[in-house]
Amino acid sequence: MLMTACDLGAVTRPWKISKQVAELVTSEFFEQGDRERSELKLTPAAIFDRNRKDELPALQLEWIDGICKPLYQALLKLNRKLQPMLDGIEANRERWQELCLSRERTRRATVSSLFPEPGQNIEPSDDVKTSENLERPEKDRPSFHSLSDLKFKDECIYWPLTPL
């Protein structure tokens, strides 16, 4: 247990160090995931998948809650002097939680802007011209109530809707 605690010790360090180590480890994981995808034709697990890098805060929370925190809580029962290490884990967990919530708020705001409230009229922007817009007077243009009704120029935004 002590060897594992030493190996995972960065999670107990101040935020700047802990975050930097998490990013370095993640970059190594991404390299492994890239090899799994290219050489073995496998879909890598989330933590190894560069295409899911925006999920790092949620993955860190899982790592802390599932592995790191229980380990250091067990060690704390053996030696109460390890409390500062557990405090460091809690402080870093709070920072990852803030990042996770911030990402979720941004994702929700973006998704909700794509799905207006019923009865809310959304007009295409001036730079989006369709034959329908050109032929109908402004007051006769349709209102949009679902994503499938929206007219996009040449691109669409895709957001991962995986639970955190």
Query: What residue segments make up the domains of the chain, in order of their start?
Result: 2-114
Determine the Cα–Cα distance for residues 50 and 59; give it in Å rounded to an integer: 13
CB 121 within 8 A of CB 143: yes
Quote the tokens at residue 67. Answer: 């592995």
Determine the Cα–Cα distance for residues 142 and 72; give it in Å rounded to an integer: 60
- Residue 149 marked in a binding site: no
Q: pLDDT tens for residues 28-82?
A: 999 999 999 999 999 999 999 999 999 999 999 999 999 999 999 999 999 999 9
Q: Is 53 exposed, middle or buried (0-12, 13-18, 19+ CB in 10 A)?
A: middle
Q: pLDDT tens for residues 119-148?
A: 665 555 554 444 444 444 545 444 444 334
